[in-house]
């Protein structure tokens, strides 16, 4: 007489890369003719263990950016932080639409090696309103290409943040400003930059009104200090 099959359990955990489903990791206690029927408490232990493992997996995938938006600060700290940063330079894109990918293409079309800014904050067009995108220069802690001066000080020592929009015509969105304040607080804290060293492209060069007449840098500094 052969033993009858017992019922099993399985938990499929999807694995994503860049938002695309790659495979499913399956945790299971499956049907097998030589397994004795599982007792009720065995099933409970299995389910609790599966939930715990699933929670750990979810946390890991979230940190890797595989599930939805990554916790912002987790992406803002480069692997090998430089001590070169001494100020923050605020820009607007002077365009109604955009995002890091689009600006990267525009900058390459000018003959640059890619996106000139360290960070881009979306306005709901190419990316969600308030979404902070991290550029390759920040990841590599490379000098910027966003604020040209004769001594190249602000490209060498300034962190370039661009908000999508034309603030000569309208104000930044509330979500953009919330993200900007949060980002600036993070940068000031971790890179030992005074809020007084938050400046604007136009304020530095005197050759442009970037980031536009509707952007209030003094208000930004006050809000960053308030954190």
DSSP H or E stretch at residue 14: strand 9-17
| Domain covering 74-225, topology | Lysozyme-like (3.40.80)
Position 154 scores a pLDDT of 97
At 204 the three-state DSSP class reads helix
| pLDDT at residue 56 in the model | 42
What does the pLDDT read at residue 227? 64
Identify the pLDDT of residue 72: 80
- Do 12 and 5 meet the contact criterion of CB atoms below 8 Å apart? no
123: enclosing H helix or E strand: none
Instruction: Extract long-range pairs of 105-110: CB within 8 Å, 24+ residues apart.
Output: 107/145
* CA dist list (Å): 16 to 64, 75, 124, 197: 10, 18, 24, 40
Query: Where exactly does CATH 3.40.80.10 map onto the chain?
Result: 74-225
* pTM confidence score: 0.70
| Helix, strand, coil percent content, the chain, rounded in steps of 5 | 35, 20, 45
Kindly list the averaged pLDDT for each block of 10 residues, start to end, along the chain of length 227. 44 42 44 44 45 44 39 89 97 97 95 95 97 96 94 96 98 98 97 98 96 98 91
């Amino acid at each position: 007489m052969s033993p009858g099959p017992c019922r099993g359990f399985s938990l499929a955990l999807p694995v994503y890369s860049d938002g695309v489903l790659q495979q499913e990791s399956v945790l299971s206690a499956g049907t097998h003719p030589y397994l004795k029927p599982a007792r009720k408490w065995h099933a409970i232990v299995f389910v609790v263990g599966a939930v715990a493992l699933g929670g750990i997996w979810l946390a890991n995938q979230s940190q890797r950016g595989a599930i939805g938006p990554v916790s912002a600060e987790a992406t803002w700290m480069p692997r090998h932080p430089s001590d070169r940063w001494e100020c923050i330079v605020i820009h607007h894109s002077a365009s109604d639409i955009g995002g890091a990918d689009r600006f990267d293409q525009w900058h390459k079309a000018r003959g640059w090696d890619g996106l000139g800014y360290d960070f881009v904050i979306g306005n709901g067009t190419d990316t969600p309103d308030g979404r902070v995108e991290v550029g390759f220069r920040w990841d590599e802690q490379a000098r910027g290409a966003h604020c040209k001066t004769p001594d190249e000080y602000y490209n060498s020592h300034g962190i370039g943040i661009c908000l999508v929009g034309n603030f000569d015509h309208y104000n930044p969105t509330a979500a953009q400003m919330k993200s900007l304040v949060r980002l600036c607080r993070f940068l000031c804290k971790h890179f030992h930059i005074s809020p007084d060293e938050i400046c604007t492209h136009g304020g530095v060069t005197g050759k442009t009104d970037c980031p536009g007449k509707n952007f209030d840098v003094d208000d930004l500094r006050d809000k960053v200090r308030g954190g």
